[in-house]
Amino acid sequence: MKHKTRLVIGNWKMNPATLPEAKRLFLKLRDKVRVTRYKSEAMVAPPFPFIAELNRLSPQGRIGLVAQHMSALSLGAKTGEVSAAMLKSIGVEGVIIGHSERRADGMTDEAVNALLLTALKAKFLPIVCVGETARDQSGDFYDLIERQIRRAFVGVPKSKLAGIVIAYEPVWAIGSGATAGPEDILETKLFIQKVIVQHFDRAAAGKIRIIYGGSVNARNAEAILAQGQVDGFLVGGASLRADEFLALLKIASE
Ligand code: PGA
């Protein structure tokens, strides 16, 4: 079966410490991506202050630049906020929305929805994160995932689904070294698809890409792709090591 173009997104979070380090990491990725025809798509989400400079280093845009966050507003008296248009003007193509580290800081499902609509308007690739804090035996966590998706997608036209990514990220797996088992990832992916089918329709649901995040590395990636049947990865810690990120791109290209 033909699969959708796989996506490997490196979420650098609040790393590395300085612009020269960010440039070094980015250049290692760029130089390899330039000469290798990966079949999977590479994107990185650096901290805001580094993006413009990294964009200058990547004229061919073979590594997409993603923002880790943005405002749903376009301009005005909002101290510390950054708009979609500002990000677009420095080469950003996508945005991570509703990451659990931001939800932990108070981001609501409604705010996730507002950002998804803003991202679509800006023609960004939105990467919408959903995931449970803990897996209970009775499967109650599925209700939470369903709620996160239903609320995030309010007002989203189904014609836009092909340009949206859902990242399934079990919160307990993020940065912990423990990934969800490939069977559990597959089960959750199928569940997410079912929710999308119910919210939209089957054809639309077939277009959306569902990726996995939470302690992905070059050792567990193959099993997650093969058995979890996801369309790629959202990678935190491992994306800060060029070799590891490139290994993930290679695995996702096979
Ligand atoms: P991790 O982070 O790969 O370090 O677990 C994933 C994420 O937060 O997106």
pLDDT tens string 12-63:
999 999 999 999 999 999 999 999 989 999 999 999 999 999 999 986 768 9
pLDDT above 70 for 2? no
- Residue 144 pLDDT: 95
**pLDDT band for position 70 (50/70/90)?**
very high
Mean pLDDT across 214-231:
96
Distance CA 206, CA 210 (A): 10
**Ligand 1 atom at minimum distance from 129 CA:** 9
pLDDT above 60 for 5? yes
H helices present in 122-241, as ranges: 141-152, 182-199, 202-205, 221-228
Q: pTM, whole model, 2 decimals? A: 0.96
pLDDT above 70 for 232? yes
Burial state string for 11-41 with b = 16 or more CB within 10 A and e = fewer than 16: bbbeebeeeeebbebbeebbebbeeeebebb
**Ligand 1 atom at minimum distance from 174 CA:** 5
Please confirm, yes or no, whether 199 is among the known catalytic residues. no
Q: How far is the CA of 233 from the centre of ligand 1 (A)?
A: 9
Of 123-127, 170-174, 249-253, the one with minimum mean pLDDT is 170-174
- Residue 204 pLDDT: 87
Q: How far is the CA of 76 from the centre of ligand 1 (A)?
A: 32
With a 6 Å cutoff on the Cβ, whether 180 touches ligand 1 is no
Specify the residue with its C-alpha closest to ligand 1, atom 1: 236
State what percent of residues in the chain have pLDDT above 90.
Answer: 90
pLDDT above 60 for 1? no
Long-range contacts of 243-246 (CB under 8 A, 24+ apart): 244/217, 244/218, 245/8, 245/10, 245/29, 245/42, 246/29, 246/32, 246/33
- Residue 16 pLDDT: 98
Of 12-26, 58-72, 83-97, 104-118, the one with minimum mean pLDDT is 58-72
Q: What is the mean pLDDT of the chain?
A: 95
pLDDT above 60 for 87? yes
Q: What is the dihedral of CA 229, 231, 232, 234, to 10 degrees?
A: -100
Mean pLDDT across 86-103:
97
| Residue reference for tokens 């995040």 | 213
